[in-house]
Structure 1
Amino acid sequence: MMEEARNYILALFSVPIAALTVYSLLRLTRNFTYKNQRARAVRTSLIILIASGGLYGMHWLGKQSQSGLKQAEGSLFISLALYALTLLALTYLFSKLRQILTEREQLKELAYRDTLTGLLNKNGMDHFWDHCKPNEQLAVLFLDLDRFKSINDRLGHHVGDLLLQAVGGSLKQFSSKGKRHIFRNGGDEFVIVAKRCGRKEAEQLAMQILEQTTRIYSLERHELFVSVSIGITLSHGRIDPMTLLKEADSAMYSAKQLGKGRYTIHKQGNTLKSVNWAGSSKAN
């Protein structure tokens, strides 16, 4: 009974050795062709060493588990061949699993990305709210392009799409992994959600966005001056996505009514502060 238990434990130990060997081989062969000659030589040496070590380890465990039995002639070759086949089978299974996971991530990325601008879309925004901490400090900036409808109607949807791509490209520089998330809300509306962001930092971010996006865009044969209106709101206590978006949207419309090309902050009690790109402010 003890001998059977020992053999069983030794057989179990060979499984993680095989898995670790296969995982290491897959990691080393990843993007192998894109490496320079020296890196490929180093990786090739490591691949040989790891594969040899994995085969030897599996063989040693197999030999230990069969130490009480008489080894048949040629058993070394047979056992090594079986171990090699095991590694090949595991390599194939791991590579297929990695391919499936990669395809899954690509489909997920497509579902969460806006095809026109490459920014996160409404699905991405819903995913963000679903995984947001309930009491996290957030600043929500609601952006809308000024005079976009007239440009789109006058010059056509193709030029309008080019303008959205250009503005989306300018906004990408303000993205920060784990801290700032940028979404295209639809049409010419964009939303930026900044984590751990207070009022002062939110205003600085709005001014930077105005400086980068308020300019002349050269699109095909057209020179178009475009500005952005921004509404800002800050979370207070438990996060309510619908309320935050509604407040930021309302502040953005106030910015448009006060002259466009500016940001307006929503405050409790419907008190608003508006600041244009030049820096002058107006409160009401």
Structure 2
Amino acid sequence: MGGSYNYYIVALSVVIAILASYSALNITTKISHASGKSKYFWLLAGAFIMGEGIWSMHFVGMLAFHLHTEVRYDIWLTCLSMLASIVSSFIAFYITMPKNIVWYKIAIGGLFMGSGIVIMHYIGMEAMIVQAHIRYDHKLWVVSAVIAFAASFAALFLFRQFRNQSSYSWLKWLSAIVMGAAICGMHYTGMLAAQYEAHGSLTTGHNTPSVDVFLLYGVTVTIFAILFISWGAMFFDRHVLERMAYKDSITGLPNRNEMNRFFDTYEGSDSIAVLFLDLDRFKSINDTLGHNIGDLLVQQVGLRLQQFIRRDQMAFRIGGDEFLFIVNSGDLARIEAFAKDILQTIKKVYHIGGNELYVTGSIGISVGSIQENDRSILLKTADTAMYKAKGLGKNQYCIYSDEMGTREVRKMELEKDLQLALEQKQFYVVYQPKWNVRTNQLYGFEALTRWNHPRLGHVSPSEFIPIAEETGHIIPMTRWMVEEACRQNKLWQSQGVAKPVSVNLSTRLFETDSLLDMIHGILTSVELEPEFLELEITESMVLHDIDDIIRQLLEIRKLGVRVSMDDFGTGYSSIGLIDRLPIDALKLDRLFTNDLDTPSKRAVIHAIILMAENLHLDVIAEGVEHQEHIDFLSQLGCYVMQGYYYGKPMLIETIEQWLKDHPGAGAPENE
């Protein structure tokens, strides 16, 4: 007994198999990007679509086959065949779910998928209620099973290779076609293996469709509905929800979520370059012109950066004024040229809201393989290199090196040990004298903090002071420092040396709004007259809330405490505020002292001294090391000197000997 096929319906069954395969494989791409319970939601969805697609293809294929007799189906066996295809699909997808997977696990997944196809087919055949006995050709039966296993393995392998490509990539369609071939090839080879032996009482009914035929048509329509609904859900997820979750709303660039997804799904072994870009002094623009202008500036920067996006170059906005580039190449020459192009593009003028803005960027570069390094290492090292670039003067790029990493480890260690250093009294104070050359007498001392680390030895202040300011430890350190300087000053007064001692202040002290109470409390506790304490501030404070700083300084000066500006003339323009700042003295940075033989430098110093005289401010020159320095400065009208010529920063014991060696040190000063 033989049968015939309706080839239009055969074509329909092939289309169903391919569409179901594509939908299922596309849905399971979400597994790689999802986490937690959502991962299993997409896994179940993919298995359901795949299983339903296999099952529907089989029964549509059966609809295309005409035995010229009435065919009915056992409902329980039919449901069991559907369950077999869904469960096998779930197991196959679950096994191949991890990002990093070896080939034999793909083979196991293919085994389960192929087994599901074979089991579903032959249970479906067993569900047929027909007036004939079905006998199978064993060779063709084996061929049908081999086709199912081989094609399933190939489809899963292709899917693993290309699942991170675009949803409409021909590579994914190739995976779906191969999977469809596995289903259809197995089905029609299995049908070819089946031989029907009619019973004696055979009744033909090929012109009278049975109820089961209408049910099969209903199943077909339902499956198409499931496929279209799943495609609609994927389209909405990919083009609406995904855009909201993975695109930055201001710049249109991919955001931090997209960056994390890239690292989660990247499986290449080649080196990549991570470029961390941070805009220089963006906070000043944001604070002075408002966040709306700041957002518009970030938007325009983002538009300029989009021109650098290529197939092997990706750009992300990861927050605020921070951007990240990933380049699929370890070629340093190309990466450096790329960084230069970015910096050159960013520094061009911006016209925003009637403002002409100029902004630069600093870029940190880290090169490595994700297979060899954790992503956090590449990001952290790029961030470290970026801060190094800022330290070099901004508008520069810097490539991370092992030496830089060693410094970073040391910085972290010092940061961790700062609190312990305060508790164990590892800090100590040294004093450097200031000398008045006109009266040939001691003018005062500057107190400086030093750190004797129990394991690392003496740590430079230029290394630990910035860390202390960043962490906030500078506040208790300064409190301790002022108290130590005041106690020592009180002791010197009892020995006949009554000179002021100056202590450096950090901006962090002004932010606490408790500086006045701290100074007053220490002076009262030590019983030191306020005029014997001098506080040194820096020009960088003018970048903060200058009105609040002036208010606090006025209150401190009302106590009788002197205030001086340290490192005057080094990088910040405070000339316009100098008449408003309640200070008593200006300290010329050693930058001026080291270049006194230059006529232009002497002219600048002379101008500063004349300005200070008009404002009734003392001028103190730092970095005085030679007699020539003294002669030049004296001729220009500067008479108070501080530097190695008169003495290095010294311990208390050394200072006492120094005082004995300088007779004018203990005598009162008469201007």
TM-score, normalized by the shorter chain, greater than 0.5? yes
1:63 to 1:260, Cα distance in 2 relative to 1, 3 A: same
CA contact (8 A) 2:9 2:63 kept: no
> Aligned partners of 1:116, 1:246: CA distance in 2, in Å?
25
Secondary structure of 2:349's match? strand
**Equivalent residues in 2 for 1:110-129 (5 A)?**
110-129=244-263
User: Is it true that 1:136 corresponds to 2:270 in the alignment?
Assistant: yes
The AA in structure 1 aligned to 2:230 is L
The AA in structure 2 aligned to 1:61 is A
Identity of aligned residues (%): 34
Secondary structure of 1:215's match? coil
CA contact (8 A) 1:19 1:90 kept: no
**2:431 corresponding residue in structure 1:** none
Which of 212, 215, 220 does residue 353 from structure 2 map onto? 220
When the two structures are aligned, how many residues end up with a matched partner? 231
CA contact (8 A) 1:134 1:239 kept: no
**Equivalent residues in 2 for 1:62-101 (5 A)?**
62-64=65-67, 66=69, 69-71=203-205, 88-101=221-234
Which of 249, 252, 256 does residue 383 from structure 2 map onto? 249
**Higher-RCO chain (CA-CA 8 Å, sequence separation at least 6):** 1
> Aligned partners of 1:17, 1:62: CA distance in 2, in Å?
13
Greater C-alpha Rg: 2
Secondary structure of 2:344's match? helix
Secondary structure of 1:120's match? coil
CA contact (8 A) 1:134 1:238 kept: no
User: Is it true that 1:192 corresponds to 2:343 in the alignment?
Assistant: no
Which of 159, 164, 189 does residue 298 from structure 2 map onto? 164
CA contact (8 A) 1:140 1:248 kept: yes
Secondary structure of 1:269's match? helix
Q: What is the deviation of 1:176?
A: 2.3
Deviations 1:87-111 (A, max 9, x none): 5444333221111111222323322
Which of 269, 283, 286 does residue 152 from structure 1 map onto? 286
CA contact (8 A) 2:279 2:361 kept: yes
Q: TM-score, normalised by structure 2?
A: 0.31
CA contact (8 A) 2:68 2:204 kept: no
**1:201 corresponding residue in structure 2:** 334
> Aligned partners of 2:376, 2:218: CA distance in 1, in Å?
57
> Aligned partners of 2:378, 2:207: CA distance in 1, in Å?
77
> Aligned partners of 2:246, 2:264: CA distance in 1, in Å?
13
The AA in structure 2 aligned to 1:132 is Y
Q: What is the deviation of 1:240?
A: 2.4
1:61 to 1:243, Cα distance in 2 relative to 1, 3 A: closer
The AA in structure 2 aligned to 1:183 is F
Q: TM-score, normalised by structure 1?
A: 0.67
> Aligned partners of 2:294, 2:286: CA distance in 1, in Å?
5
1:71 to 1:118, Cα distance in 2 relative to 1, 3 A: same
> Aligned partners of 1:65, 1:184: CA distance in 2, in Å?
66
1:22 to 1:91, Cα distance in 2 relative to 1, 3 A: farther
CA contact (8 A) 1:145 1:189 kept: yes
User: Is it true that 1:234 corresponds to 2:367 in the alignment?
Assistant: yes
CA contact (8 A) 1:135 1:239 kept: no
CA contact (8 A) 1:22 1:91 kept: no
The AA in structure 2 aligned to 1:264 is C
> Aligned partners of 1:137, 1:103: CA distance in 2, in Å?
35
**2:15 corresponding residue in structure 1:** 20
Secondary structure of 1:226's match? coil
> Aligned partners of 1:225, 1:255: CA distance in 2, in Å?
18
**2:463 corresponding residue in structure 1:** none
Which of 293, 301, 307 does residue 173 from structure 1 map onto? 307
> Aligned partners of 1:241, 1:258: CA distance in 2, in Å?
26
